[in-house]
Amino acid sequence: MKQDKQKALGRLERMESQVRGIARMFEEDGYCVDILLQIAAVRSALKGVKRMLPENHARHCVEDAIASGAPDAQCETINEL
């Protein structure tokens, strides 16, 4: 879990830097195609983080709910997926 969290935070920090770069490109009247490419890169990176979350939820939250033996918690956690 800690490794996944660090990986996600690293990606988010890189995206933050990319978004600042995009803003700078706008301020400096950057080439539109270059800006679009950078926006596409940020969207792709964000999708990567988005894909990590359900897997992490299944590996940790669902496992914990199953281990708890509480049917209500199990159903709720599985339905969240």
CA dist 49 and 2 (Å) reads 14
User: Could you please report the per-residue DSSP string of 17-64?
Assistant: HHHHHHHHHHHTT--HHHHHHHHHHHHHHHHHHHHHHHHHIIIIIIHH
User: Cα 67 vs. chain centroid, distance in angstroms?
Assistant: 26
Q: What is the pLDDT of residues 26-76, one digit of tens each?
A: 999 999 999 999 999 999 999 999 988 888 877 788 888 888 888 888 888
The CATH number that applies at residue 31 is: 1.20.58.1000
pLDDT confidence of residue 1 = 63
Domain that holds residue 62: 2-80
pLDDT confidence of residue 42 = 96
pLDDT confidence of residue 37 = 97
Query: Domain tally for the chain?
Result: 1
